Amino acid sequence: MLSAVIDYWRDVGLDVTARDLSRDVFVDMREKNNHHASAWGGDGGLDAMVLPINYLPVSSESSWYATGWAQWYSDPKNPDAVEPPAEVIRQLELYNQLKATADAEKQNKLMRDILDISANQFYVMGIALPPNRKGLVAKNFKNVPKVIPAAWSYATPAPTNPSQYYLESQ
């Protein structure tokens, strides 16, 4: 997929080179903000509130972009911290409000506001959704949902409550 993206970017005049790095080297470069862009799998927006790293820089360990901004959010005195622009500071303020409330309706509104800013700033570019996955379930294995989302942030199959699956006597 990344090879196709690079070809498209070159077609519009961007000079792009992809490097296949070991995970430890990639993470080290990203945490030190020593990169221009990175490519990684996402969750397709399954639950932005649970895993907001694609929409605002809240953690230098998990942000795929602007790790200096994430370090500023965690500790503005960090020598690697970079003060973000006003739009990002506004997002981070909204995120702090979201974390401070237990009101689900208010949380949803705050997250929508965060996502609106993210969409306007275009920090992360989704290029493809993961392919549909297929699974087999025995006819006598019951209470298994027909559709189970597959994403790292969903922790498949835990949210489907496997303790409630059961075997039907034949």
The predicted-structure confidence for 139-160, as pLDDT tens digits, reads as follows 999 999 998 877 777 788 888 9
Average pLDDT over residues 124-144: 84
Q: Where are the beta strands (DSSP E) in 10-161?
A: 141-142
First to last CA, the chain: 46
pLDDT at 25 over 70: yes
Res 12: pLDDT: 96
Can the peptide bond before residue 157 be classed as cis, meaning omega within 30 degrees of 0? yes
Tens digit of each residue's pLDDT (9 = 90 or more) over 43-64: 666 678 878 888 888 887 777 7
Task: Using a pLDDT cut of 90, give the percent of the chain over it.
Answer: 42
Nearest to 131 by CA among 41, 3, 13: 41
- The predicted pLDDT at position 93 comes to 97
Radius of gyration of the chain (CA): 20
Q: Is the pLDDT of residue 117 over 80?
A: yes
Rounded to two decimals, the pTM is: 0.73
Task: Give per-residue pLDDT as tens, 69-113.
Answer: 999 999 999 998 999 999 999 999 999 999 999 999 999 999 999
Q: How confident is the prediction for the chain on average, in pLDDT? A: 87
